Amino acid sequence: MFEAACNSLHKRYTSSLTRFTSYQHVPADEQRVPAHLPLRNIQQLQKHRLQQHLPFDLFAQSYDKIIVDLHNDLRRLESSSNMRKLKWDSQLYKLARSWAEECINSYGHPYRKEIPYSFISQNIFIDSVPSSYLENDENLESFYSKNLISKKSKTLVTNAIYEWYGEKRFYDGENRKCKLEQGCNSYFRIVRSNSTRVGCAHNFCANIFGSARRNQLIVICNYNFGTMDDSDETSAPYLKGVPCSLCNPAEICDDQLCS
């Protein structure tokens, strides 16, 4: 029943988009590099973006509803008594955007004097741009400039969210923790009941610092609760029960989510 519900969501969010199925996802142990490595890794794409003045803020305007709705639909599937409704956060988006521009294969944030929240957790997805997406002799710069806001890139971003949520298969619901052999931090971050804000961004990188792969998509989502890459799975991300039965007194029930 749960798989049917999840498949129905996936179909709904991708039915109007061009889909691809050849995942070449970078394993989690390849997605991290030591934090002390230099942050500046200027790429040709970044120079191209600056030269062309590509309107990055259009991403937030075009994608925020899709990203927030998909997150909340997945959160509803958990049948949680204290699950809060996520809303888009422009500050978390700007942090994600700046970090995605670095094309670095690691969790992190650009240097900021002020971080909007005391705790921020982060999901990162890196995947190859399917060769079928490139037309004839088109290079990645051309693809990037044409597809910053497009059905193709929307599909890539929603696939990233499903990839993170797919770690649910590594979650031991009976004991309320991740299985020892595999982590499920990405899943935890999507369904953590205390999170109320999300901001996501993506970038197309000719090269990723910390990875030998080329022509990669990087998707980053920041959440306003939790930590970067430590043991997120040390406690249950939410409480099972009748939806909204444990909302805070000041909250209302908005379609099975506390708001």
Does residue 142 lie in a domain region? yes
Contact 195, 224 (CB under 8 A): yes
**In this predicted structure, what is the pLDDT of residue 110?**
75
**In this predicted structure, what is the pLDDT of residue 112?**
65
**In this predicted structure, what is the pLDDT of residue 230?**
42
Contact 85, 196 (CB under 8 A): yes
For the CA atoms of 135, 139, 141, 143, what is the dihedral angle to 10 degrees?
10
d(CA 99, CA 231): 22
**In this predicted structure, what is the pLDDT of residue 119?**
82
The pLDDT profile of the chain, 259 residues, written as one tens digit per residue, is 556 666 666 555 544 333 222 223 333 333 332 232 233 333 443 443 333 333 444 455 567 888 999 999 999 999 999 999 999 998 999 899 888 888 888 888 776 656 768 788 899 998 876 666 555 545 555 555 555 555 666 777 888 999 999 999 998 888 778 886 768 889 999 999 999 999 998 887 878 887 777 778 889 999 998 544 444 545 788 999 999 999 999 999 999 999 9
Contact 84, 250 (CB under 8 A): no
Contact 200, 96 (CB under 8 A): yes
Does residue 201 lie in a domain region? yes
Token pair, residue 138, equals 């088109």
Helices (H), 77-150: 90-101, 140-147
Does residue 181 lie in a domain region? yes
Q: What CA–CA distances, in Å, run from 102 to 32, 38, 47, 202?
A: 14, 11, 11, 11
Does residue 135 lie in a domain region? yes
Does residue 94 lie in a domain region? yes
Does residue 117 lie in a domain region? no
**In this predicted structure, what is the pLDDT of residue 220?**
93
Find the domain containing 139 and state its range: 61-107+131-258
What's the domain count of the chain? 1
pTM: 0.74
Task: Break the chain down into helix, strand, coil percent, rounded to 5.
Answer: 40, 15, 45
Dihedral sign, Cα of residue 22, residue 30, residue 89, residue 55: negative
Does residue 44 lie in a domain region? no
Phi-psi region of 103 (alpha: psi -120 to 50; beta: other; left: phi over 0): left
CATH number at residue 195: 3.40.33.10
Does residue 161 lie in a domain region? yes
